[in-house]
Homo-oligomer: A and B are copies of this chain.
Amino acid sequence: MSEIAVTERTRHRRMRENGSTRKEELDAVLAAGFVCHLAVVVDGTPMAVPTCYGATADTLYFHGSVASRSLAQDPAAEVCVTVTHVDGLSLARSVFEHGVNYRSVMVFGTPRVADGDEKLEGLRVLTEQCAPGQWDYARLPNRKELAATTLLALDLTEASVKIAAGPPEDGEGPDASLGLWAGNVPIRTVYGAPVPAPDLAPGIALPPHIAALRTEA
Protein backbone atom coordinates (compact mmCIF):
# COMPACT_ATOMS: atom_id res chain seq x y z
CA MET A 1 0.00 0.00 0.00
CA SER A 2 1.55 3.29 -1.04
CA GLU A 3 1.44 6.51 0.93
CA ILE A 4 1.21 10.13 -0.20
CA ALA A 5 3.93 12.35 1.24
CA VAL A 6 2.54 14.86 3.72
CA THR A 7 3.44 18.54 3.39
CA GLU A 8 2.64 21.54 5.53
CA ARG A 9 -0.47 22.30 3.50
CA THR A 10 -1.73 18.76 3.17
CA ARG A 11 -1.32 17.88 6.85
CA HIS A 12 -4.75 17.18 8.28
CA ARG A 13 -5.84 19.54 11.02
CA ARG A 14 -9.50 19.11 11.60
CA MET A 15 -11.32 16.58 13.70
CA ARG A 16 -14.36 15.19 12.06
CA GLU A 17 -12.88 14.27 8.76
CA ASN A 18 -10.91 11.14 8.36
CA GLY A 19 -7.75 12.31 6.67
CA SER A 20 -6.05 9.70 4.57
CA THR A 21 -2.63 9.47 3.02
CA ARG A 22 -3.35 6.29 1.12
CA LYS A 23 -2.65 6.58 -2.58
CA GLU A 24 -5.40 4.05 -3.26
CA GLU A 25 -7.96 6.37 -1.67
CA LEU A 26 -6.66 9.35 -3.61
CA ASP A 27 -7.01 7.37 -6.83
CA ALA A 28 -10.47 6.11 -5.91
CA VAL A 29 -11.85 9.59 -5.14
CA LEU A 30 -10.41 10.98 -8.36
CA ALA A 31 -11.79 8.04 -10.36
CA ALA A 32 -15.29 8.51 -8.94
CA GLY A 33 -15.95 11.85 -10.66
CA PHE A 34 -15.08 14.07 -13.56
CA VAL A 35 -15.82 17.62 -12.35
CA CYS A 36 -13.35 19.48 -10.15
CA HIS A 37 -13.06 22.98 -8.80
CA LEU A 38 -9.86 24.70 -9.79
CA ALA A 39 -8.64 27.36 -7.36
CA VAL A 40 -6.41 29.90 -8.98
CA VAL A 41 -5.48 33.51 -8.29
CA VAL A 42 -6.49 35.79 -11.17
CA ASP A 43 -5.49 39.46 -10.93
CA GLY A 44 -5.10 39.05 -7.18
CA THR A 45 -8.50 37.45 -6.65
CA PRO A 46 -8.92 33.79 -5.72
CA MET A 47 -11.38 32.00 -7.98
CA ALA A 48 -12.89 28.52 -7.78
CA VAL A 49 -13.73 27.48 -11.31
CA PRO A 50 -15.64 24.29 -12.09
CA THR A 51 -14.17 22.24 -14.90
CA CYS A 52 -13.74 18.68 -16.11
CA TYR A 53 -10.66 16.64 -15.37
CA GLY A 54 -9.14 13.31 -16.13
CA ALA A 55 -6.62 11.54 -13.93
CA THR A 56 -4.01 8.86 -14.43
CA ALA A 57 -2.03 7.33 -11.58
CA ASP A 58 0.33 10.29 -11.49
CA THR A 59 -1.20 13.21 -13.41
CA LEU A 60 -4.41 15.21 -13.46
CA TYR A 61 -5.39 16.87 -16.74
CA PHE A 62 -7.72 19.81 -17.31
CA HIS A 63 -8.34 22.48 -19.91
CA GLY A 64 -6.24 25.61 -19.66
CA SER A 65 -8.97 27.85 -20.98
CA VAL A 66 -11.24 27.52 -17.98
CA ALA A 67 -9.49 29.78 -15.55
CA SER A 68 -9.45 32.53 -18.13
CA ARG A 69 -6.57 33.96 -20.10
CA SER A 70 -4.17 34.12 -17.20
CA LEU A 71 -3.70 30.42 -16.49
CA ALA A 72 -3.48 29.42 -20.14
CA GLN A 73 -1.01 32.19 -20.87
CA ASP A 74 0.99 31.72 -17.71
CA PRO A 75 0.55 28.19 -16.41
CA ALA A 76 3.40 28.66 -13.95
CA ALA A 77 0.96 29.67 -11.23
CA GLU A 78 0.11 27.65 -8.17
CA VAL A 79 -3.30 26.05 -8.23
CA CYS A 80 -5.40 23.76 -6.12
CA VAL A 81 -7.70 21.25 -7.73
CA THR A 82 -10.48 19.95 -5.49
CA VAL A 83 -12.76 17.02 -6.23
CA THR A 84 -15.70 16.49 -3.89
CA HIS A 85 -18.35 13.78 -3.75
CA VAL A 86 -21.28 14.39 -1.41
CA ASP A 87 -22.38 11.04 0.01
CA GLY A 88 -25.09 12.06 2.42
CA LEU A 89 -26.37 14.03 5.35
CA SER A 90 -25.40 13.10 8.88
CA LEU A 91 -28.36 14.18 11.00
CA ALA A 92 -27.48 14.25 14.68
CA ARG A 93 -29.68 14.97 17.70
CA SER A 94 -28.16 18.45 17.93
CA VAL A 95 -27.72 20.97 15.14
CA PHE A 96 -24.12 21.45 16.27
CA GLU A 97 -23.24 17.84 15.44
CA HIS A 98 -24.85 17.87 12.00
CA GLY A 99 -22.52 17.13 9.16
CA VAL A 100 -22.15 15.98 5.60
CA ASN A 101 -20.60 12.70 4.60
CA TYR A 102 -18.25 13.22 1.70
CA ARG A 103 -15.06 12.21 -0.03
CA SER A 104 -12.75 14.98 -1.14
CA VAL A 105 -9.31 15.38 -2.64
CA MET A 106 -7.23 18.54 -2.87
CA VAL A 107 -4.24 18.53 -5.21
CA PHE A 108 -1.69 21.32 -4.97
CA GLY A 109 0.92 22.25 -7.50
CA THR A 110 1.95 24.25 -10.51
CA PRO A 111 0.50 22.93 -13.75
CA ARG A 112 2.48 22.59 -16.94
CA VAL A 113 1.27 22.64 -20.51
CA ALA A 114 0.89 19.15 -21.98
CA ASP A 115 2.29 19.00 -25.49
CA GLY A 116 2.79 16.51 -28.28
CA ASP A 117 1.94 12.91 -27.48
CA GLU A 118 1.07 13.79 -23.90
CA LYS A 119 -1.49 16.32 -25.07
CA LEU A 120 -3.38 13.77 -27.12
CA GLU A 121 -3.12 11.14 -24.39
CA GLY A 122 -4.24 13.68 -21.76
CA LEU A 123 -7.25 14.62 -23.86
CA ARG A 124 -8.08 10.96 -24.18
CA VAL A 125 -7.86 10.51 -20.40
CA LEU A 126 -10.03 13.58 -19.81
CA THR A 127 -12.62 12.55 -22.41
CA GLU A 128 -12.80 8.99 -21.16
CA GLN A 129 -13.24 10.09 -17.56
CA CYS A 130 -16.22 12.29 -18.49
CA ALA A 131 -17.72 10.14 -21.20
CA PRO A 132 -16.30 6.62 -21.21
CA GLY A 133 -16.15 5.08 -24.66
CA GLN A 134 -16.44 8.34 -26.59
CA TRP A 135 -12.75 8.62 -27.49
CA ASP A 136 -13.05 5.52 -29.65
CA TYR A 137 -16.51 6.44 -30.95
CA ALA A 138 -16.63 10.18 -31.68
CA ARG A 139 -14.53 12.06 -34.21
CA LEU A 140 -11.10 12.80 -32.70
CA PRO A 141 -9.67 16.33 -32.58
CA ASN A 142 -8.12 17.48 -35.84
CA ARG A 143 -4.97 19.56 -36.08
CA LYS A 144 -6.84 22.86 -35.88
CA GLU A 145 -8.87 21.77 -32.86
CA LEU A 146 -5.78 20.48 -31.10
CA ALA A 147 -4.04 23.80 -31.70
CA ALA A 148 -7.03 25.63 -30.20
CA THR A 149 -6.86 23.55 -27.02
CA THR A 150 -4.55 24.19 -24.10
CA LEU A 151 -4.30 21.14 -21.91
CA LEU A 152 -2.72 21.50 -18.51
CA ALA A 153 -1.12 18.71 -16.49
CA LEU A 154 -0.80 18.71 -12.71
CA ASP A 155 1.38 16.14 -10.97
CA LEU A 156 -0.38 14.15 -8.27
CA THR A 157 2.52 14.49 -5.87
CA GLU A 158 1.06 16.85 -3.27
CA ALA A 159 -2.46 15.87 -2.38
CA SER A 160 -4.78 15.59 0.57
CA VAL A 161 -7.68 13.15 0.96
CA LYS A 162 -10.52 13.67 3.39
CA ILE A 163 -13.36 11.27 3.94
CA ALA A 164 -16.26 11.79 6.34
CA ALA A 165 -18.47 8.75 6.65
CA GLY A 166 -20.65 6.94 9.10
CA PRO A 167 -23.48 7.82 11.44
CA PRO A 168 -23.77 10.93 13.62
CA GLU A 169 -21.72 10.65 16.76
CA ASP A 170 -23.85 12.07 19.52
CA GLY A 171 -25.51 8.79 20.42
CA GLU A 172 -23.34 8.33 23.50
CA GLY A 173 -23.65 11.83 24.87
CA PRO A 174 -26.42 13.49 26.87
CA ASP A 175 -28.34 14.33 23.67
CA ALA A 176 -29.15 10.64 23.19
CA SER A 177 -31.84 11.04 25.84
CA LEU A 178 -33.70 13.71 23.85
CA GLY A 179 -35.73 11.09 22.04
CA LEU A 180 -34.85 12.56 18.64
CA TRP A 181 -34.27 10.62 15.45
CA ALA A 182 -30.67 10.50 14.26
CA GLY A 183 -29.14 8.90 11.23
CA ASN A 184 -28.01 9.40 7.67
CA VAL A 185 -29.68 10.33 4.43
CA PRO A 186 -27.63 8.91 1.55
CA ILE A 187 -27.05 11.14 -1.46
CA ARG A 188 -25.82 9.94 -4.80
CA THR A 189 -25.46 11.02 -8.39
CA VAL A 190 -27.37 9.12 -11.04
CA TYR A 191 -27.32 9.06 -14.82
CA GLY A 192 -30.70 9.10 -16.54
CA ALA A 193 -31.89 7.84 -19.90
CA PRO A 194 -29.92 9.27 -22.84
CA VAL A 195 -31.81 11.91 -24.84
CA PRO A 196 -31.06 11.98 -28.59
CA ALA A 197 -30.25 15.40 -30.05
CA PRO A 198 -33.33 16.88 -31.76
CA ASP A 199 -31.42 17.01 -35.05
CA LEU A 200 -30.12 13.44 -34.86
CA ALA A 201 -30.66 11.77 -38.22
CA PRO A 202 -33.11 8.85 -38.17
CA GLY A 203 -31.70 5.36 -37.95
CA ILE A 204 -28.67 6.13 -35.79
CA ALA A 205 -28.82 3.70 -32.87
CA LEU A 206 -27.79 4.55 -29.33
CA PRO A 207 -24.35 2.96 -28.91
CA PRO A 208 -24.06 0.45 -26.05
CA HIS A 209 -21.31 2.40 -24.25
CA ILE A 210 -23.64 5.41 -23.90
CA ALA A 211 -26.62 3.27 -22.91
CA ALA A 212 -24.39 1.71 -20.23
CA LEU A 213 -23.91 5.05 -18.45
CA ARG A 214 -27.47 4.93 -17.18
CA THR A 215 -27.74 4.18 -13.47
CA GLU A 216 -31.32 5.28 -12.92
CA ALA A 217 -34.33 3.09 -13.60
Q: Say what secondary structure dominates the interface of chain A.
A: mixed
B102 x A127 contact (CB < 8 A)? no
Q: A182: which B residues are within 8 A, CB to CB?
A: 196-197, 200
Q: A176: which B residues are within 8 A, CB to CB?
A: 199, 201
A78 at interface by CB-CB < 8 Å? yes
Q: Which of B40, B100, B190 contacts A187 (CB 8 A)?
A: B190
Nearest B residue (CB) for A160: B47
Known: A80-B46, A168-B197. Contact between A94 and B138, CB under 8 A?
yes
A48 x B187 contact (CB < 8 A)? no
Binds B, one of A19-27, A54-62, A111-119, A139-147: A139-147
Nearest B residue (CB) for A46: B39
B191 x A187 contact (CB < 8 A)? yes
Q: State in angstroms the CA–CA spacing of A34 and B86 once bound together.
A: 10
Q: A32: which B residues are within 8 A, CB to CB?
A: none
B200 x A194 contact (CB < 8 A)? no
A150 at interface by CB-CB < 8 Å? no
Q: State in angstroms the CA–CA spacing of A186 and B168 once bound together.
A: 32
A47 x B39 contact (CB < 8 A)? yes
Interface residues of A in 19-53 (CB under 8 A from B): 34-35, 37-50, 52
A64 CB to nearest chain B CB (Å): 13
Q: A175: which B residues are within 8 A, CB to CB?
A: 139
A89 at interface by CB-CB < 8 Å? yes
Q: State in angstroms the CA–CA spacing of A131 and B88 once bound together.
A: 11
A82 x B46 contact (CB < 8 A)? no
Give 17 A-B pairs besides A9-B42, A167-B197 with Cβ atoms closer than 8 angstroms.
A14-B65, A37-B37, A45-B78, A48-B80, A48-B106, A50-B84, A93-B138, A96-B142, A98-B130, A137-B180, A179-B201, A182-B200, A183-B195, A183-B197, A187-B190, A187-B191, A188-B216
